[in-house]
Structure 1
């Protein structure tokens, strides 16, 4: 009697390991052009040059694909642990600024316009990605507070809001140049001057 195979070959086409690299940029381009309301998985598949069934095999719903596409635009921050507030911010803030520049900023503007129309996607993206980015920044301010670097009039949460609010407002109202080079250094200078005990005139 011949042996019975212990495993059976998988049916259908094997999953393409490179599909993310093609589909996610295409999904970002689709979001930049049409926003969440006009987003189409069929159109994304056409942009990426892949079979729509392959897209659905990887992302069960268009909401899943939108959230993953938006995630590629976020700042993937890691705690730098330089030992000073200024050192930590110098490491972290450029990555945040890049996430607010160019195509990323245009997609962000489109999605902000549609917050009320796509609350489920907005909530998932905020929880899974924006909150994580904000948490890394807030941790830098927590470490600064532990070293006695923050003035008594602020908290790590408020300091994070000041920094993120400044970057976001400048990026959305002025554009990329407002979060690059000397302009970006100026934002960090301003925030450190507001919250740090080492700033002239600071009250501990």
Structure 2
């Protein structure tokens, strides 16, 4: 008679799924405070309250951890279908503004400061964080063009630059309050006055 094989329990402690989130949040704080040049896994581990070996077990290189931390900052925008340019912008712009405030704004400032020293990381942040927002906005302006809501002399790309430029400038020079509440409504009103029919 053959014996039924028994399953042996895995050695060591089970992997804590909550650690990944804590480490990534700590990595964002580290980036916002120290930038890419001063970023260290030791600092991240201390902020997250985990052993440094646990960080290295999940991210084999510092750049992998930086890139994954930056990915958590990406605004997950969904193209709206409000049926009007104003409706689309009212749906999109608050999420874009949130992606340009707090730690995200501080990381963006750091990336701009270190563009020459960390070009690969900065390019990744720009592509995943800024360009994705711009692409969804440009789609909204394309739909507005098809509905006749955009001035004939303004292209969707130009309208996107005006709006993204306004939001970025205000966020980087004034701070979070410049992209919240009534201030944000004022930005949208101003841009619509410039680009809409």
Q: Output aligned runs, 1:152-163, within 5 Å.
A: 152-163=152-163
Q: State the distance in 2 between where 1:88 and 1:109 align.
A: 28
Q: 1:28 touches 1:70 (CA, 8 Å); kept in 2?
A: yes
Report if aligned partners of 1:171, 1:179 keep a CA contact under 8 Å in 2: yes
Quote how far apart the aligned CAs of 1:14 are.
3.4
Contact residue 15 and residue 54 of structure 1 kept, 8 A: no
| Unpaired runs of at least 5, structure 2 | none
Deviation at 1:23, TM superposition (A): 0.7
1:38-187 correspondence to structure 2 within 5 Å: 38-187=38-187
Equivalent residue number for residue 2 of structure 1: 3
**Mapped contact 2:138–2:157 kept (Cα < 8 A):** yes
SS at match of 1:29: helix
Kindly tell me: are residues 11 and 148 of structure 1, through their superposed partners in 2, closer, same or farther at Cα, counting changes over 3 Å?
farther
Verify: 1:193 aligned to 2:178, yes or no: no
Moved more, 88-97 or 53-62: 53-62
Q: What do the CA deviations read for 1:36-81 (whole angstroms, capped 9, x no partner)? A: 1010012101211112222223222211211222222332211121
Q: Which piece of structure 1 moves more, 125-134 or 179-188? A: 125-134
Q: CA shift at 1:9, angstroms?
A: 5.3
- What do residues 69-118 of structure 1 show as CA deviations (whole Å, max 9, x unaligned)? 22223322111210101111011111111122233222221221011110
Distance in 1 of aligned mates of 2:192 and 2:108: 26
Gaps of 5+ in 1: 198-204
Contact 1:159 1:195 (C-alpha < 8 Å) held by counterparts:
yes
- Within the alignment, does 1:33 sit opposite 2:33 as a pair? yes
Greater Cα shift, 178-187 or 157-166: 178-187
